[in-house]
Amino acid sequence: MKTAARWSHSPFWQRTGKRIGRAGRHLSNRAMGRILPLPQNRRIEDLPPVHSVLLVRPNIRIGNTILATPFVPALRAMFPGARLFVLGTETSELLLRNLPVDGVYVVSRSFILRPWRMLALLRRLRAEKFDVAVEAGMGSFSGSLYGWLSGARYRIGVEGPASRLLNVRVPRPQVAHVRDRIPSFVRSLGAECDDTLIYRVAPEEADAATRLLRDATRADQALESGFLAVFVGGHLDKRVPNEQWVDIVARLDADGVRFVLLAGPEEHGLRKLLAVSPRLERHLLPPQSLRVVAAVLDRAALVVTTDSGPMHLAVALGRPTIALLERERSMRFRPRGPDDRALMKPGTDEVIDAVRRHPAWSSIAG
């Protein structure tokens, strides 16, 4: 099982999965185009009273789920009194816990090998008789398809390749930053929405983070006084090279910074490099659940991370963040708060300088 898990996190299989997914969506879209007519486009103001809403975002990436959270208060305001459900993944179920939704329906990768579970899910969705399904991916073919399969009477989304699956369509938002897409989309429906990402830490998770940090505290590093959280994971070409991470960690340690390292499930190579130096390895926290990782981030005075799920979690938690970006496209996802910083392909000196110059420096310096 461990070997299979490592394969699933390997860059080769991740890239292969992306290619297969793109090809499947392309073929499915062409087939839909030949079979389904383009439905009449309805206006949102012409909809009858709405009693149940399905927000559709069946994506396994942490960041994509967090980026969709502004929809929750927006849909609550648009359809007051309606029950609000989410169609997502196992990751969505974790991330949306403690948010004001009435439930989460889960799409699983295991459906490929167990298609009867997919059929059971669709039966449950259709039994709910949703009035409205909202495609939250801003043009996702899979999201539009699931909305259509749910049997929702009105399916809301943006114009594009999946238009035949939608009957309430608005223009695709043209924005420079990804966080502006949902507010722009909601405004086109005649409602208001801000770009605030939402995540809520439960009291028991905060307690678990407190215990974890207390156990990690040493005589030379009083973490309760404030600390830097460094996430050293990343997806494919968003990753910082392991050797540079070791240099960054060594510099932080030499400067007496109070910090902890959080590593993703793909970081076996980095763990081995850090193990060479017990002084550096001691900063690495043991593997934790996603929600405990979020609770640790919530306690940090400053977060340093790649363009990753934890970057979006830090933003949702309101933590000042220094993002280390490895590709230009990541600038569209960068944190942009007053105390956030985005560094494009930075060298180690630039990273350390950004940490030293940050307003949180006095809280994390030894």
pLDDT digits (tens, 9 = 90+) for 213-232: 988 876 566 787 799 999 99
The tokens describing 73, both together, are 């208060």
Contact 65, 95 (CB under 8 A): yes
Give 221's strand partners: 218
- Note the pLDDT of residue 11: 53
Q: Which of 152, 116, 151 is nearest to 133 (CA)?
A: 152
Burial of 101 (0-12, 13-18, 19+ CB in 10 A): buried
Q: How far apart are CA 165 and CA 150, in angstroms?
A: 11
Place of tokens 């994971």: 233
**Per-residue model confidence as pLDDT tens digits over 84-114:** 999 999 999 999 999 999 999 999 988 888 9
Other CB atoms within a 10 A radius of the CB of residue 215 amount to 10
- The string over 283-292, giving b where at least 16 C-beta atoms fall within 10 Å of a residue's C-beta and e elsewhere, is bbbeebeebb
Q: Do you know the residue count of the chain?
A: 366
Decide: residue 108, CB within 10 A, 0-12 exposed, 13-18 middle, 19+ buried. middle
Q: For residues 33 and 210, give the distance between their C-alpha atoms in angstroms, rounded to a whole number.
A: 54
Provide the pLDDT for residue 277. 83
Residue 4: its pLDDT value, please? 43
pTM, entire model: 0.88
What does the pLDDT read at residue 15? 53
Q: Any residues with CB less than 8 A from the CB of 219 and at least 6 apart, and which?
A: none
Instruction: State the pLDDT at residue 1.
Output: 41
All residue ranges of the chain with pLDDT < 70 are: 1-34, 218-221, 236
Position 341 scores a pLDDT of 98
Domains of the chain: 24-188 (3.40.50.2000), 203-364 (3.40.50.2000)
